Structure 1
Amino acid sequence: MSTLIVYGIPNCNTVKKARTWLEEQGLSYTFHDYKKQGVPADRLNDWIEQVGWELLVNRQGTTWRQLDEATKAGVVDKASACVLMLDKASVIKRPVVELEGKVLSVGFDDKRMSELASKLAG
């Protein structure tokens, strides 16, 4: 069976919730820590192709709110969003959960994760 990959930051509450949930379900995963391992540029491009840059840029988070207005206004397309996300990993909505190169989830939602678990078990 393929292993899930969970991308995020270990001290993020949403990432903690997702990791705890996966462990409680007995689902194995590999954790990719943006702070230690960086944002994988090749994966980021794939994520953008799969789910769109708009979903990946967390405009509700502290990192986004701390950006100056000119930087925020400059995030208008795939290229500008990619530059920002590679420079400031914390602006990526977390966690990104991936299996065999396919994005299964961005962020954490109990219902969505339950559906994923059913598919993985099934």
Structure 2
Amino acid sequence: MSKPKLTVYYYPKCGTCRKALKWLQENGYELDLHDLFEQSPDKDTVAEWVSLSGLPVKKFFNTSGEVYKELKLKDKLPTLSDEEQIELLASNGRLVKRPVVTDGKTATVGFKEEEFSRVWPGAKV
């Protein structure tokens, strides 16, 4: 059975992203890569990630990033609607926690090997 092609939103210089890409490639996935810093995702894309992942929008924010801190989002996010948070994520790819991996049916954010083994099957543990 062939594995689905995965779309990965990432930043090439991010160590976590590199680990995730290596893991996915070693487990036989073909990847369609999108550099978040070169091109921010649009609102529909971000909304789809949220919907497919089942996670709250706030889980998609890179809380340790410079832009997050500069915009003082720690204090602002709780006051924003989901729609406003999605617009914010779509406005700047640097705000997105990475990598975001999707096959169009589900989505994961960040990289934890245990979660990847569960969500992206056929993996060696």
TM-score bracket, shorter-length normalisation: 0.7 to 0.9
Number of equivalences: 118
Q: SS at the partner of 1:10?
A: coil
Which consecutive residues of structure 2, in runs of 5 or more, have no partner in the other structure?
none
Q: Which residue of 2 aligns with 1:7?
A: 9
> C-alpha separation between the residues in 1 aligned to 2:28 and 2:22?
10
Q: What CA RMSD, in Å, does the superposition of the two structures yield over aligned residues?
A: 2.2
Q: Which residue of 2 aligns with 1:85?
A: 89
Matched-pair contact (CA < 8 Å) for 2:117–2:123: no
Which has the larger helix fraction? 1
Q: Which residue of 1 aligns with 2:33?
A: 31
Fraction of identical pairs, as percent: 26
> C-alpha separation between the residues in 2 aligned to 1:88 and 1:113?
26
Which consecutive residues of structure 1, in runs of 5 or more, have no partner in the other structure?
none
Q: CA deviation at 1:96?
A: 0.7
Q: SS at the partner of 1:51?
A: coil
Equivalent of residue 59 in structure 1, options 58, 63, 66: 63
Matched-pair contact (CA < 8 Å) for 1:48–1:78: no
Taking a change above 3 Å as real, the CA distance of residues 88 and 27 of structure 1, as seen in their structure-2 partners, is same
> C-alpha separation between the residues in 1 aligned to 2:25 and 2:115?
16
Shift >4 Å, 4+ stretches: none
- Write the letter of the residue equivalent to 1:100: G
Q: CA deviation at 1:120?
A: 7.5
Q: Which residue of 2 aligns with 1:17?
A: 19
- 1:5-36, Cα deviation, whole Å (9 max, x unpaired): 11122212211111111122222111111223
TM-score when normalising by structure 1: 0.80
Q: Which residue of 1 aligns with 2:50?
A: 48
- 1:63-120, Cα deviation, whole Å (9 max, x unpaired): 31232x3x553322212212221222111111111012421x1100011112234357
Once the two structures are overlaid, the 10-residue window that deviates more, 112-121 or 22-31, is: 112-121
TM-score when normalising by structure 2: 0.78
